[in-house]
């Protein structure tokens, strides 16, 4: 009994390929043409994602109104003489005085002074016997 020197199956596959050279060559050509067509063939027109277009639309009515208002505001000049006018000086302030209130703690989430650090756990935040998560 003699042992084969080649692995079983590789010789059979090679023999099949050698007998069908024309079919294998045709298959390789079809795959190459398909890859060229789908991956980078020149279609004559640029891809939709690569086209750069500039759109210029006429200004809307709201845009024209805004520009007109801004141009009017640019021409406005303020005069400080209004503040020295006697009528302006005769105006009375009817506002109420704001009384200062005491400010709260700098960190409202910090534990209160003199309170134990684990006060939240002792106040009833016990973990159930099953591990806590349901």
| Joined tokens for residue 36 | 């060229």
Domain range list for the chain = 16-40
pLDDT tens track for 13-72: 777 777 788 888 889 999 999 888 888 755 555 556 666 777 666 778 888 899 999 999
Answer positive or negative: Cα dihedral of 40, 45, 47, 51.
Answer: positive
Residue 92 gets the label, from left (phi > 0), alpha (psi -120 to 50) or beta, of beta
The predicted structure's pLDDT at residue 128: 54
Residue in the structure block whose two tokens are 């005491």: 102
For residues 15 and 22, the answer to whether their CB atoms sit within 8 Å is no
Average pLDDT for 90-109:
90
β strands within the chain, DSSP E: none
What is the reported pTM? 0.24
- The tens digit of pLDDT for each residue in 111-128 reads 888 877 664 544 555 555
SS3 of 62-113: the string is HHHHHHHHHHHHHCCCCCHHHHHCHHHHCCCCCCCCCCCCCCCCCCCCCCCC
Whether 123 contacts 117, CB under 8 Å: no
């Amino acid at each position: 009994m003699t042992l084969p020197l080649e692995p079983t199956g590789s010789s059979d596959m090679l023999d099949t390929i050698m007998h069908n050279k024309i079919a294998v060559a045709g298959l390789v050509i079809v795959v190459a043409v398909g890859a060229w067509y789908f991956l980078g063939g020149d279609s004559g027109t640029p891809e939709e994602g690569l086209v750069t277009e500039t759109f210029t639309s006429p200004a809307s009515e709201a845009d024209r109104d805004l520009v007109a208002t801004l141009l009017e505001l640019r021409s406005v000049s303020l005069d400080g003489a209004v503040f020295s006018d006697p009528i302006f000086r005769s105006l009375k302030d009817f506002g109420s005085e704001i009384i200062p209130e005491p400010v709260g703690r700098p960190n409202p989430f910090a534990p209160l002074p003199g309170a134990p650090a684990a006060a939240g756990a002792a106040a009833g935040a016990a973990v159930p016997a099953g591990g806590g998560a349901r």
